[in-house]
Chains A and B, each alone.
Chain A
Amino acid sequence: MTIRLGGRDILSAASFQIEEGEFVGMLGANGAGKTTLMRAALGLVPLSAGEIAVLGSPATRGNAQIGYMPQNRGAIVGLRLTGWDVVASSAIGARFGFVTLDKATRREIDWALDEVGARELARRSIGELSGGERQLVLLSQALIGKPRLIMMDEPLISLDPAHQKSVVDIARRICDNLKIAILFSAHELNPLVNAIDRVLYLGGGEAVIGAVDKVVTGPVLSRLYGAEIEVVRVRNRYYVMAGDVDVERDAHRHDDHAHSHA
């Protein structure tokens, strides 16, 4: 497929497949197209060539097979509403007309909150939760409707290491217990490296998918970044270096200021 935005090919002729029930970590520099790829799979960004098939059917808006967790949280961070009300509003939010929360929907909301261990947290104001607690409540939204693929866009951003670990662990558990495929984008590989089945690396309009030790190597990343990249591996941690600069760390720092949207 090819995705073109503002006269620039974000991804050109990238081709890959995610298997059912698999946990894929998606990495790549800012602007490599991580968010755009997710939005394309949701039918929000048109493809200029090729196709995206989600479970055998073309990408369309409102696909109940996909759960999505966008990066941009905007308004709700400052609200006093309970997390439960936020989750409920998304559960029935696509329906026009006089809609009330029926028993089955209430049960599903409680079930989804239980799955991520956020039932108690959801009683509190969404604005009073810490960043990591809020991510868990919001992750439960992606479970409603029993999707077969969940796409999480940078859920680890600005979380401390302990909360990063709990978000990754819960994503892994959802993948194992509920047999839901997960596409999880991140700036850094290391928080994910022990949890994911495969890594999808974007860069230079290309996409490479495979086992971490096959993809995160000097030659592959040099091609994707279009620059000389050295990968240093210490036990099970990877450091992606361009000259003296740690590429992934640097990208993360940049994003904290600009909140750019690829």
Chain B
Amino acid sequence: MLEYDFMRTAFVASGLAAVLAGTVGFFLVLRGQTFAGHALSHVGFTGATGAILFGLSPLAGLVGFTFVAGIGMGLFGEKLATRDVAVGMMLSLALGLGLLFLHFYTAAATQAAALLFGNVLGVDSSALLTLAVLACVSLVALAMIIRPLIFASLESELAEARGVPVRLVSVAFLAIVAVAVAECAQIVGVLLVFTLMVGPAAAAQNFSRRLIGGMMLAAGLALAEAWGGLTLAYTTDWPTSFWITALSGLVYLLSLVARFQAR
């Protein structure tokens, strides 16, 4: 299958998104902010559909909107990002707006499906370059804040007392999450971002008791699920996103069994 250009591109694109999503998702799960990640993806939908409507690149709209929303969420403080109702309202409002934008744009159906459920086989080489640059920048940024981020996630009061700028770290982290969400949405679509960001990370925290090891495991699992999904999609001709969600669910189930048996 690797003789096809679009398959090679798909493997690279999904690999980039998966490693970023798994790594960032590990901290999202650690901080209990998974719902915020989910909401950011819906804001991305508004951005992407809005961009299409105004003749811009959907990827730019996606990244731009999630990025601004991520910083906004961070500025409103730790509390908001974990507050279900506020995040839920924002999520549905964003989806509604996206729907309105699609309504004004005539060739809606295929675009909408690609945005909502992903279209990894449709990634072209210029989008691939953008994805690669964004993934690298995000991972480097994450590496820069990783120690204060871990400290603030585990013991925010103590971190504050030790002089960690907790609020700044939180804003920076959500900005990184926003980019990861946008990348991920390219592969599995905005509705299924959870499957790469949260599934592998939650499974890794069930399998592993360590921090850095667990983070690398989350990235590895996400990569395996993304590539496994692509391969299965190639052989069965079923949608890639379906296979990724199926693998993600299966791995999470196995991790629950492993955790239960470890007791």
Binding site for B on A (CB under 8 A): 39, 42, 44, 61-63, 66, 68-70, 72-76, 79-82, 85-86, 88-90, 92-99, 125, 141
Contacts and interface: CB of A to CB of B under 8 A. Distances in A.
B64 to A, nearest CB: 26
Contacts of A92: 147
CB-CB nearest 10 A-B residue pairs: A62-B163, A93-B151, A70-B157, A42-B161, A89-B150, A61-B163, A68-B161, A85-B211, A94-B162, A82-B209
Interface residues of B, number: 32
A35 B146 CA distance: 29
A141 B151 CA distance: 12
Nearest to B159: A93
Given A89-B150, A97-B144, A99-B147, A80 B161 contact: no
A42 B157 CA distance: 11
Contacts of A69: 158
A80 B259 contact: yes
A89 B154 contact: yes
Contacts of B145: 96
B211 A90 contact: no
Contacts of A81: 154, 209-211, 214
Nearest to B212: A85
A62 B163 CA distance: 4
B32 A90 contact: no
30 contacts: A39-B161, A44-B161, A62-B163, A70-B158, A74-B155, A75-B30, A75-B153, A76-B154, A80-B206, A80-B259, A81-B154, A81-B210, A85-B210, A85-B211, A86-B155, A89-B211, A90-B154, A90-B159, A90-B162, A92-B147, A93-B150, A93-B151, A93-B152, A94-B164, A95-B147, A95-B148, A96-B148, A98-B143, A99-B146, A125-B209
Interface of B: 30-32, 143-148, 150-164, 205-206, 208-211, 214, 259
Contacts of B157: 70, 72
Contacts of B155: 70, 73-76, 86, 90
Given A72-B157, A80-B205, A96 B147 contact: yes
- Binding site secondary structure of chain A: loop
A95 B149 CA distance: 10
Contact of A80 (B31, B144, B209): B209
Contacts of A76: 154-155
A75 B154 contact: yes
A49 B32 CA distance: 39
B28 to A, nearest CB: 13
* Most chain A CB within a 10 A radius of its CB, from B156, B160, B162: B162
A74 B147 contact: no
Contact of A90 (B158, B208, B209): B158
Contacts of B160: 44, 61
Contacts of B154: 75-76, 79, 81, 86, 89-90
Nearest to B210: A85
A61 B162 CA distance: 6
Max chain A C-beta neighbours (<10 A), residue from B143, B148, B152, B214:
B148
B162 A62 contact: yes
A97 B144 CA distance: 4
- Which of A73, A85, A88 gathers the greatest number of chain B CB atoms within 10 Å? A85
Residue of A66, A75, A96 with most partner-chain B CB within 10 A: A96
Given A79-B205, A93-B148, 4 more contacts: A75-B31, A90-B154, A93-B150, A99-B146
A159 B30 CA distance: 26
A79 B163 CA distance: 24
A42 B147 CA distance: 21
Contacts of A68: 158, 161-162
A93 B147 contact: yes
Contacts of A75: 30-32, 153-155
Contacts of B206: 80
B163 A94 contact: yes
B211 A93 contact: no
Contacts of B162: 61-62, 68, 90, 93-94
A94 B148 contact: yes
Nearest to A66: B161
A102 to B, nearest CB: 13
B214 to A, nearest CB: 8
Nearest to B157: A70
A49 B155 CA distance: 30
A126 to B, nearest CB: 9
Nearest to A261: B157
Contacts of B161: 39, 42, 44, 61-62, 66, 68, 70
A92 B32 CA distance: 22
